[in-house]
Amino acid sequence: MVKVKTKFFCTECGYESPKWYGKCPGCGSWNTMVEETEKVVKTQGLTSGLFHTKEKPLPIINIESGQEPRIQTGIAELNRVLGGGVVPGSLILVGGDPGIGKSTLLLQTSHEMAKAGLRVLYISGEESTRQTKLRAERLGALSPELYVLCESSMDGIEEAIDQVKPDFLVIDSIQTVYLPEVTSAPGSVSQVRECTARFMRISKGQGIATVLVGHVTKEGAIAGPRMLEHMVDSVLYFEGERHHSYRLLRAVKNRFGSTNEIGIFEMKEAGLDEVANPSELFLSERPLGVAGSTVVASMEGTRPMLVELQALIASTQFPSPRRMATGVDHHRMNLIIAVLEKRMGMFLQNQDAYVNLAGGVKLDEPAVDLAIAVSIASSFRDLPTKPFDVFFGEVGLTGEVRAVSRAEQRVKEAAKLGFKRVILPEKSMKGWKGPKEIQLIGVNTVADALAVALD
Ligand SMILES: Nc1ncnc2c1ncn2[C@@H]1O[C@H](COP(=O)(O)OP(=O)(O)OP(=O)(O)O)[C@@H](O)[C@H]1O
Ligand SMILES: [Mg+2]
């Protein structure tokens, strides 16, 4: 009998070892070693010796540059997340939960690119060409320059690339692709690593913008070695709540643009719809004139976004009160509760506190602090807030309200949506003027803000 040799790989850093470890000697992570059959043949073109260009080192000032050319994808939200379009020859990894709409997004993108006159090859290892066609019919994504293939062997894919010579290539998904030289199963650490290396060579070498779809693990990270994320130029996550129809596209790594931008889509029968004005969406179900509800003007990258923030304060049944935060940082909420207790004399120790950002959005900038403080105080005192007020500002430990960036843009967005007053840090008001139709109220402390908001 032939003895099958196995090796262990760390899924975090790709460390190889002949035996199993609880803690990876390479990166120190626990429980990340997985067993795989060892690859038998080493061919050139695998990770080692990836680029051998035979070029000489040059002084940096002599290297030709110029703006990165960008291909507009026809989907504005995607362009925004990528930093203004797809860079030819770049390798992009898109991850997301099962069924979130990765294939839908990429099929729509492929269609838009093909419509713009580019040649697109969409390779699916998960769905048959018929299935893809059915989906394309539903999405209205039938265009003659869009080529579809159901294939998962690397050789077959390379052949197809040579035939079609695409400008834009989609691989759905990297976990289904396999190299016959590597003996472990598709989706395993070594397969994913080697196949990605191969795609990197193809995309850089032939200038093909390539998108790889990646599965995610139970913990939400892209399945396969962590190294995968280092190898590609951009990593995008497509996320959303199971119970909401909208989806967020977020860049966690981008070599050609900022990573603060998010793209917002709504999933409909006819595919993903871009949401150009997210504030309207997030405020659409807001109850008016109730205690505990405020509107916060937040920034997601360069885009202002108004979101409803709700708080509920109710007396507790337990020895220690419950504190729950959805969409905002739990620690910030605890800090603000402590500030309200100490500086404002609110007795919250025997009160449960729930804070929730409506619509399942997550905001992690400190500018939401003031809205949290006002919502909690409003619910605690049972005093409704004004329906046409918007808040933003960071709260410090002494109860002061600190300046935040991009105040002007936040105010403009509030004015655009018909709000009447903005309560903001006084220090953020210097050097600019807001629109006439909106009143700006600068505050220095949480006490000032409450006096204005809950009078
Ligand atoms: N007829 C339809 N009407 C409305 N929405 C639909 C319809 N068919 C599919 N969808 C939506 O599309 C989603 C599936 O999208 P898609 O197949 O692109 O996801 P995926 O991320 O590629 O999934 P997987 O990880 O399985 O490949 C479904 O969860 C559903 O929300
Ligand atoms: Mg899919």
Give the pLDDT confidence score for residue 225 in this predicted structure: 66
Identify the band that residue 304 occupies on the pLDDT scale cut at 50, 70 and 90.
confident
- The residues near 362 (Cβ < 8 Å, ≥ 6 apart) are 327, 328
Beta bridge partners of 315: 351
**Least confident span in 31-40, 130-139, 153-162:** 31-40
Between the alpha carbon of residue 229 and those of residues 182, 226, 232, 237, 282, the distances in Å are 21, 6, 6, 12, 31
Q: Which of 221, 217, 299, 219 is nearest to 253 (CA)?
A: 221
Are 97 and 219 spatial neighbours (Cβ–Cβ below 8 Å)? Answer: no
DSSP state of 39: P
CATH architecture of residue range(s) 69-276: 3-Layer(aba) Sandwich (3.40)
Tally of CB atoms within 10 A around 334: 13
The Å distance, Cα 142 to ligand 2 centre, comes to 18
Ligand 1 binding pocket includes 98 (Cβ within 6 Å): yes
The answer to whether the pTM exceeds 0.85 is: no
Nearest to 406 by CA among 295, 302, 309: 302
Mutational pocket test of ligand 1: of 94, 97, 103, 246, the residue with most ligand atoms within 8 Å of the beta carbon: 103
CA distances from residue 421 to 19, 298, 410, 445 in whole angstroms, order as listed: 65, 15, 12, 17
User: pLDDT grade, residue 50 (50/70/90)?
Assistant: low
39, pLDDT greater than 80? no
Ligand having the closest approach to the CA of 95: 1
* pLDDT of 331: 95
> How would you classify residue 382: left for phi > 0, otherwise alpha for psi between -120 and 50, otherwise beta?
left
From the CA of 222, how far away is ligand 1's center (Å)? 19
Q: What is the mean pLDDT of residues 254-283?
A: 85
Q: How many angstroms is it from 146 CA to the middle of ligand 1?
A: 20
Nearest bound ligand to CA 223?
Answer: 1
Query: 93 and 236 in contact (C-beta within 8 Å)?
Result: yes
Token pair in block for residue 253: 């790594």
| Nearest CA among 185, 382, 417, 167 for reference residue 307 | 417
pLDDT of residue 87: 92
Query: Are 59 and 76 in contact, with CB atoms under 8 Å apart?
Result: no
Residue 434, pLDDT score: 87
Residue 205 has pLDDT above 60, yes or no: yes
pLDDT digits (tens, 9 = 90+) for 148-199: 999 999 999 999 999 999 999 999 989 999 998 888 888 888 888 889 999 9
Please tell me the distance between residue 370's alpha carbon and the centre of ligand 1 in angstroms: 38
Structure confidence at residue 45 as a pLDDT band (50, 70, 90): very low
| Average confidence (pLDDT) over 373-384 | 96
As given in the structure block, the two tokens for residue 238 are: 């497509």
Pairing outcome for strands 120-124 and 168-172: parallel
Query: Does residue 47 carry a pLDDT above 70?
Result: no
Q: Which CATH class is domain 281-454?
A: alpha beta
Pocket test for ligand 1, best of 104, 131, 134 (most atoms within 8 A of CB): 104
442 forms bridges with which residues in the sheet?
424
End-to-end CA distance of the chain: 85
Contact in structure between 170 and 106 (CB atoms under 8 Å): yes
Strand pairing class (271-274; 262-268):
antiparallel
User: Which residue's C-alpha comes closest to atom 2 of ligand 1?
Assistant: 269
Percent of the chain with pLDDT strictly greater than 70: 93
Half-sphere exposure of 420 (CA within 13 A, CB side): 5
Average pLDDT of the chain is 88
User: Please, are residues 8 and 18 in contact by the beta-carbon 8 Å criterion?
Assistant: yes
Higher-confidence residue: 110 or 41?
A: 110
- CB of 95 shorter than 6 A to ligand 1: no
Write down the pLDDT at residue 13: 77
Residue 445 β-bridge partners: 400
Torsion angle defined by CA atoms of residues 180, 184, 190 and 194, in that order, rounded to the nearest 10 degrees: 10
The strand order across the sheet containing 246-254 reads 146-150, 120-124, 168-172, 209-214, 91-96, 234-240, 246-254, 262-268, 271-274
294 in Cβ contact with 309 (< 8 Å): yes
- Give the pLDDT confidence of 323-362 residue by residue, as tens digits: 999 999 999 999 999 999 999 999 999 999 999 998 778 8
* DSSP E strand boundaries for 144-277: 146-150, 168-172, 209-214, 234-240, 246-254, 262-268, 271-274
Residues linked to residue 212 through DSSP beta bridges, in sequence order: 93, 171
Whether 104 is in the pocket of ligand 1, judged by its Cβ within 6 Å, is yes
Does the CB atom of residue 242 touch ligand 1 within 6 A?
A: no
Average pLDDT over residues 393-417: 93
